[in-house]
Amino acid sequence: MNTRIFNEFKKRFGAGAQLYASPGRVNLIGEHTDYNLGFVLPAAIDKNIYVAIKPNGATNSRLYSYDYEMEVSVDMNGEKPEQQWACYIYGVVQEMKKRGAKIDAFDCVFGGDVPLGAGLSSSAALESAVGYALNDLYGLGFSRQELAKIGQMTEHNYIGVRCGIMDQFASLFGQKGRVIRLDCRSLEYELFPFEPQGCRVVLIDSMVKHSLASSEYNVRRSQAEAGVAVVAKHVPGIESLRDVTMEMLDTYKNEMDALSYRRCAYVIHENQRLLEGCEALKKGDYEFFGEKMFGSHEGLSREYEVSCAELDFIADIARHTDGVLGARMMGGGFGGCVINLVKESVCDAYLDDVKSRFNHQYGQTPRTISVVIGDGARRVEIE
């Protein structure tokens, strides 16, 4: 794919482009914890968005989407472009300019192999690739953390998505064979080994689109905040669920509604699962880590109630299959993928079993995507 993007640039705009890549991501444990200022455990994967780019000395930047087969000319000092895909690039430029960067017009071709609609954050990969490329090309001096913030603010201000920073962070800070424990309150992070010998990480797509995710996301957020507000009346210094223990929650349980209690309990348990899972990774105990993945799914399904029948169906097959170490829904919920940690020896048979049973139950065959934990944003040398 990287050669195709590079050659497409040459065909359209001539020689001399630099090529950059930034990956999609998975999240192993830690869902709906980010906006509660807890922990997440993402990793970059071996699926990337590639950007070939070169200053053009003109007034307008020429942008070509390889996947949409569409070219637009954009004045980066003018109005936002109509095409949403072009808004990602425009937005990154604007956010960099707000921070004092001087960026001349450029030509750019981008495309990649991050599967769309699977919750692997192709948009964050694009923002990170463009940000990293412009930073390198024009010597802007932004740190990777600043580039992650630029990507996040692009989503907020030019796409209209109030996302957290996890996706951009994973795309920029990822390392092969490592997962990133990110503290969403301080943005401090630590890398943990993730090289389960004889195992594969596989996503199984439920084929359900997240139609409820955005509206229910806001409901969950307000339910969690309501629980925090109750505890904060009694305990000084409580600002988010990160500060609340199960003991505190149980003490003031009678002052909050049952749903708020359940939502808060899930987040507290999920942070604990994640921290215990990281300790297991240090010891190379993937069986224990897998149990924490199963526990995460159980919590998301029963306490936070953001799963759906199809996701639960896949997770239940995983739970009852020897050689599947762990599985859980990944992402906002109400659709999307189940991420699985599976022994190589049983993987193909397990996937065949899920496809067959899912098809029998729901009348369609789920898509499967194997991923390998890979490196974050980088410059790519073409032979």
Q: Are 175 and 191 in contact (CB under 8 A)?
A: yes
Q: Which residue type does 3 have?
A: T
Which two tokens mark 174?
């990822």
Is 167 one of the catalytic residues?
yes
- DSSP letters for 245-271: -HHHHHHTGGGS-HHHHHHHHHHHHHH
Contacts of 237 (CB under 8 A, 6+ apart): 243
Encoding tokens for residue 287?
A: 């069986």
Exposed e or buried b per residue across 297-309, where buried means at least 16 C-beta atoms within 10 angstroms of its C-beta: bbbbbebbbbbbe
Cα–Cα distance between 326 and 372 in angstroms, integer?
16
Question: How far, in Å, CA of 302 to CA of 357, rounded?
Answer: 23
DSSP string over 5-61: HHHHHHHHH-S--EEEEEEEEEESS--S-GGGT-EE-EEEEEEEEEEEEEE-SSSSE
* Annotated catalytic residue within 34, 107, 167, 205: 167
Distance CA(270)–CA(228), nearest Å, equals 16
Gap between the Cα atoms of 96 and 135, Å rounded: 9
Max Cα separation, the chain?
Answer: 69
Q: Which residues are catalytic?
A: 167
